[in-house]
């Protein structure tokens, strides 16, 4: 199945290969040999050019081309189909992605292409902030209940069963882990509510493979260093605010973003704290046990402050969106740390032996934009970037595609209240799927 791009588009064709067993498993093959082929990635309110080729076991093929006319899609409150284009896609600025998924807090995930066209909208969920495109579908964690759902590109959905384990809901971003998916969760267990400070790992069946409590990890570190952890780790309070995490295979570790405090690196197996990287004028740095784990920052760099979307670049740099918002949920007399006048994207080299972080490069929008919360940056394989200022200057979600040399390939925006419309946006491999 191939859906061709519009004339003049820079985006790739959307294509999918289905085996007979994959179609039969989903009820698209009948006993009399009739097949239904799911088609996705269509343009709304347009004439779509589609090719379908069928291959048979005797080596023969049968091809068909058709036009499929779709109605406009513009439900109440819909902002994605009417984006304001500040910079239309420049064909001479290469991007390593054609499609990206917008994770939002007002509805299902939305897939757009780099030309600013909506190409897919999910169903069955009212909040898709905690989500991940994986295995030709999207896994979404419920923001109010301990339920994971899987959305398929054909519009169907299913619940991924989770055993009762004290998890109460999912929050923030889902990422690939060592053996499954990393999921930030709230936990209430043995009368102990742990808010936005626990990370789990689950497999495709919903089995919990691992769990890391940053409260327990940090309390253990503080106690070993002679500090009282109860002054910092506070159950029932959003003292940590975990907003992203990723698995680093090079040394079997996890790097976790705490918006309130720092970026933390822990050992995957033991949970031991390896280093902390964050504003040293915040409350956490007043504790010697934690300050002893801190990285210093080379001159000329910006500390991560209220950061989101921590990942690694292809060349091993720590990449993050630097919001610039101080701490919000520490004790009343505790230092909140600094504030940045505008938000930016930053990449850092980390010398763990020297305990030194060096900001290798920084991208700042011209004119400056400030996104107080949420937001993201992700790098494609060719070094190009997708940047999402989720609440630029308070009321706009601004999405920017940058070439490998940080030249603007496109820029668009749409209205938002808080960061609900596009709290995070990530490039996805939407164009070439195989369903076995």
Q: Which residues of the chain have pLDDT under 50?
A: none
Q: Does domain 80-435 have CATH number 3.90.1150.10?
A: no
Give the strands of the sheet with 424-428, arranged side by side. 118-121, 110-113, 99-103, 424-428
How much is the pLDDT for 34? 85
Distance from C-alpha of 396 to C-alpha of 409, rounded to nearest angstrom = 19
Among candidate residues 421, 418, 381, the one with its CA nearest the CA of residue 399: 421
> Does residue 386 have a cis bond before it (omega within 30 degrees)?
no
How much is the pLDDT for 187? 98
For the chain, residues classed under CATH 2.120.10.30 are 80-435
227-257 core/surface letters (b: 16 or more CB in 10 A; e: else): bebeebbbeebbbbbbbbbbbbeeeebbbbb
């Amino acid at each position: 199945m191939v859906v061709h791009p519009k004339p003049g588009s820079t985006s790739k064709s959307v294509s999918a290969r289905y085996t007979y067993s994959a179609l039969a498993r989903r009820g698209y093959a009948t006993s009399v040999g009739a097949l239904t082929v799911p088609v996705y990635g269509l343009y709304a309110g347009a004439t779509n050019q589609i090719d379908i080729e069928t291959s048979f076991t005797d080596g023969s093929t049968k091809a068909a081309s058709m036009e499929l006319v779709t109605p406009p899609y513009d439900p109440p409150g819909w902002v994605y189909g009417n984006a304001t284009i500040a910079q239309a896609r420049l064909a001479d600025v290469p991007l390593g992605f054609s499609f990206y998924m917008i994770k939002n807090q007002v509805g299902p995930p939305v897939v757009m292409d780099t030309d600013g066209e909506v190409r897919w909208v999910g169903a069955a969920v009212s909040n898709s902030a905690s989500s991940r495109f994986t295995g030709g579908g999207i896994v979404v964690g419920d923001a109010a209940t301990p339920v994971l759902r899987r959305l398929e590109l054909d519009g169907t959905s299913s619940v991924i069963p989770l055993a009762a384990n004290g998890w109460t809901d999912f929050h923030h971003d889902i990422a690939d882990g060592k053996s499954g998916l990393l999921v930030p969760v709230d936990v209430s267990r043995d009368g102990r509510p742990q808010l936005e400070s626990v990370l789990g790992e689950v497999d495709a069946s919903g089995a919990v493979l691992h769990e890391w409590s940053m409260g327990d990890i940090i309390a253990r570190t503080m106690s070993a260093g002679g500090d009282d952890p109860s002054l910092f780790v506070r159950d029932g309070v959003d003292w940590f605010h975990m907003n992203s995490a990723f698995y680093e295979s090079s040394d079997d570790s996890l790097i976790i973003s705490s918006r309130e405090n720092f970026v933390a690196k822990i050992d995957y197996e033991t949970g031991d704290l390896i280093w902390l990287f964050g504003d040293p004028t915040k409350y956490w740095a007043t504790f010697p046990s934690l300050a002893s784990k801190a990285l210093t920052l080379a001159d000329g760099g910006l500390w991560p402050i209220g950061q989101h979307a921590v990942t690694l670049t292809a060349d091993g740099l720590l990449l993050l969106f630097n919001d610039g918002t101080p701490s919000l949920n520490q004790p009343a007399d505790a230092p909140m740390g600094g504030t940045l006048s505008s938000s930016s994207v930053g990449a850092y080299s980390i010398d763990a032996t020297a305990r030194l972080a060096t900001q290798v490069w920084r991208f700042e929008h011209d004119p400056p934009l400030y996104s107080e919360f949420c937001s993201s940056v992700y790098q494609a394989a060719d070094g190009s970037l997708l940047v999402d200022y989720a609440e630029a200057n308070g009321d706009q979600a601004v999405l920017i595609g940058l070439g490998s040399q940080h030249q603007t390939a496109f820029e668009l925006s749409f209205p938002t209240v808080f960061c609900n419309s596009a709290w995070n946006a990530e490039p996805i491999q939407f164009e070439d799927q195989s369903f076995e």
